[in-house]
Amino acid sequence: MKKSHLILSIFLLLATFTWAQQRIVKLKLVQTSDVHGNYFPYDFILRQDATGSLSRVCSYIRQERKEYNDRLILLDNGDILQGQPTAYYYNYIDTTTTHLCAAMMNFMDYDAGNMGNHDIETGRTVFDRWASDCHFPILGANIIETATEQPHFKPYIILERDGIKIAILGMITPAIPAWLSENLWRGLRFDDMEETARHWMTVIREQEKPDLVIGIFHAGRNAYVMNGKYNENASADIARHIPGFDIVMIGHDHALACEKVINAEGDSVLIINPANNASVISSVDVKLTLQDGHVTQKEISGELVRMDSYEPDAEFISHFASQRKDVEQFVSKRIGRFTESISTRPAYFGPSAFIDLIHQLQLAISGADISLAAPLSFDAEIKAGDIFVNDMFSLYKYENMLYTMSLSGKEIRGALEMSYALWTNRMKSADDPLLLLRTQPREGAADRAVFQNPSYNFDSAAGILYTVDVTKPEGEKVHILSMADGTPFDETRMYKVAVNSYRGNGGGELLTKGAGIPQDELEKRILSSTDKDLRYYLMKYIEQQQTISPKALNQWRFIPETWTKTASQRDYNKLFGNEKQP
């Protein structure tokens, strides 16, 4: 053999040997988050078709599995058990069959789920039943059983796909005690996310030695210390501060995100968030190059994929047809009649029939002196005429309990001062806006105005007469004239106040930062609590009364009215379009 032929043969042999030792593995990771009961392609509250839903995600997954098979890993990031009547029905009405959400996730072959705050809100009986019905692990590294000091759910799981070892660590925002009554999570504790992640990353790296590490955190992107105690939305901080994560999947804040950050060791970490309602999913492509069985290179890219172009999966729809029928029968039950239509839209500009109906019902149910309540849905409407169960989800969005609390007159005014400071601009002239608004860009559509702060923290009061001077700074806006019956209001007196459990536990910080009550003292102020969610009692009250004539109580007003009247119409047009304000 010629020398040149020999060299070529040796080269080819070495190349073949090297190629044989090098291998490429491609994985697809898919995340749903904050599904909020949107299982079917139908909104049972509005009684109309919906663009999101697990049914559409199922179509997408079925398509992608044709290419990836078991190399597709499907994960959910919490808040899946609350939002639509579908979830409510299987949380509290049908409690004996397999939970619909678990059955659907089993049908779709989820690999893991993670706990969200609204899953905790359903109560231990509900979320433990759901978790036991799931044929895959539910994660929650920082949800600790106080009796054992061990995680209530698995802290992490290890999956192996095509020779690749994948670690998935799940956590929840620790701010649960600031929102939810302890009777819903009694016996549990919610530890700081960053401390928990640091601990479990050490365990995972030393004991498991994975090729890929994924964090799935039910917490948003921008960290914020709530009530001086709970570090909410610490996901991006963890990605930056704690080396080892390749991908951090986030949720909770309903904010689309797909970006890379650099961690403390200079490595790139993908952060991705599909927002809410299963309208969008997170799709992550991972390409791993292996040499002699060891990963030598990682290529990771993320994409947010809209689900509205996918038809609901036909097999999914057929398989769960009977459960859909049960939910439709549940929401179709007539409970009473409204003589007037009500909407949350007027609630931002003054007293409204919508919010004042909630005030009246809270006062009637609790026997309190004063009620605090806010619009829980940005733009909800209930038409005059027969009222059905589905309308109650528009009237009251969340499964909050009703608390009766002991608050001083000064504390009540402090809470209202903070509420209106979150809600209203400080007007310097008649041309200024009344509300605190910002512009939000929209893909393929004109920009729109939205509130700077969540409207579910815009508490107004009933049971007192007061004005809100929008020319004044926070602390000087609210002037309480008297009780609603004309008797004096006393800032030194203790009053019985009806609030929802979210507010009573410190949610929105109106009672802590606004009223100045320490977080640890809030529980002592609770005089009584309902044992079921407030929507249940609202429903029972309407059933008893049968005919409700909702009207604004007109117990408060914005001043100076010469400024606020024209500013209201301008702001109304920015929020809802050019139509006459009701």
Give pLDDT, residue 118.
97
pLDDT, position 383: 96
Domain harbouring 556, CATH code: 3.90.780.10
> What is the average pLDDT value for the chain, to the nearest integer?
94
The confidence score (pLDDT) of residue 77 equals 98
The arithmetic mean of pLDDT across residues 451-472, rounded, is 97
Residue 357 forms part of a structural domain: yes
Residues 277 and 376 reside in one and the same domain: no
Q: pLDDT value at position 508?
A: 95
Count of domains observed in the chain: 2
107, 560, 37: which is closest to 318 by C-alpha?
Answer: 107
Please say which residue of 327, 361, 385 terminates a domain: 327
pTM of the model as a whole: 0.90
Distance CA 64, CA 83 (A): 28
Confidence of residue 2 (pLDDT cuts 50, 70, 90): low
pLDDT computed for residue 445 by the predictor: 60
pLDDT value, residue 18: 47
* Predicted local distance difference test score (pLDDT) of residue 90: 98
| Under 8 Å between Cβ of 33 and 218 | yes
Q: How far apart are CA 211 and CA 491, in angstroms?
A: 62
For 482-521, where are the alpha helices, taking DSSP H only?
501-504
Residue 475 burial (10 A CB sphere; 0-12, 13-18, 19+)? exposed
Residue of 323, 327, 328, 357 whose CA lies nearest to 340: 357
Question: HSE-up of 208 (CA within 13 Å, CB side)?
Answer: 22
Are both 253 and 359 inside the same structural domain?
no
pLDDT at 1 over 70: no
State which residues form the domain around 440: 334-576
Helix, strand or coil for residue 445? strand
Can you name the residues that pair with 495 across neighbouring β-strands?
407
224 band by pLDDT with thresholds 50, 70 and 90: confident
The answer as to whether 15 is a domain residue is: no
pLDDT in tens, 510-557: 999 999 999 999 999 999 999 889 999 999 999 999 999 999 999 999
Q: Band the pLDDT of 15: cuts 50, 70, 90.
A: very low
Q: Which residues contact 329 (CB under 8 A, 6 or more apart)?
A: none
Q: How many helices (DSSP H) and strands (DSSP E) are in the chain?
A: 16, 34
The percentage of the chain sitting over the pLDDT mark of 90, rounded to a whole number, equals 91
Q: Are residues 140 and 249 in the same domain?
A: yes
- Assess whether 282 and 346 both reside in one domain: no
Q: Is a pLDDT exceeding 70 seen at residue 582?
A: no
| Whether 341 and 214 share a structural domain | no
Over the stretch 110-133, which tens digit does the pLDDT of each residue have? 999 999 999 999 999 999 999 999
Tell me: the pLDDT tens digits for 126-166? 999 999 999 999 999 999 999 999 999 999 999 999 999 99
pLDDT the model gives residue 17: 46
- Please report the pLDDT score of residue 13 as a whole number: 45
